[in-house]
Amino acid sequence: MFKDRERLRRWVSDPAHREHLRCIVGAGGDGTLSDVFNRFPGIPIAILPLGTENLLARHLGVPRSGEAVARLIAEGSCRRFDLGLMGQRRFALMASAGFDADVIHRLHAVRSGPISHATYLQPILESLRRYEHPPLRVTVDDAPLAREARLAIVVNIPAYAFRLPVAREARGDDGTLDLRLF
């Protein structure tokens, strides 16, 4: 409906529209969803999974079908989901520091258009060659001693890209985030 983000922001901000707004549909991948819930905090979001991994949609069992998503919205299907905060950005899936973050940074530095699994190949190879794996000091829940790692991932769901099970017990609605240090 809205291709212009500013126009959508103004429309959503209008109290006359807001009171009748059921949700915003994020049609895309996990990055699109992240953009939507950071841009419109407090507004329910429906997921139309059109991205590469669609980790959140897969975790929640949302089918890749506009008709099915419309049916879920019409039925009032709703799930609460925990969000983490890193800096000024909220995240639903994960946040990382170390090698993983370096790959993502390299990917976004050269990105132009949609991402595919193949898009990650060059940034991964560059990170394997150039990333120096500096030590990270991680403090957990105001613990007096920091822990050292080379890769830190804060996760909210069990699976990572390619369905790698990084935190099998993670649940997106339990009020906690899981930390994996490598």
Q: Give the dihedral sign, CA 78/84/89/93.
A: negative
pLDDT in tens, 140-176: 887 889 999 999 999 999 988 777 888 989 999 999 9
The structure tokens listed for 163 are 């369905």
> Which pLDDT belongs to residue 1?
53
Q: Do 93 and 175 reside in the same domain of the chain? A: yes
pTM of the model: 0.82
Q: Which domain holds residue 163?
A: 89-181
The answer to whether residues 111 and 25 touch, using CB atoms and an 8 Å cutoff, is no
Residue that finishes a domain, picked among 49, 79, 109: 79
Domain total in the chain:
2
Please report, for the domain that includes residue 60, its CATH number. 3.40.50.10330
Q: Is residue 84 part of a domain?
A: no
Number of H helices, E strands in the chain: 7, 9
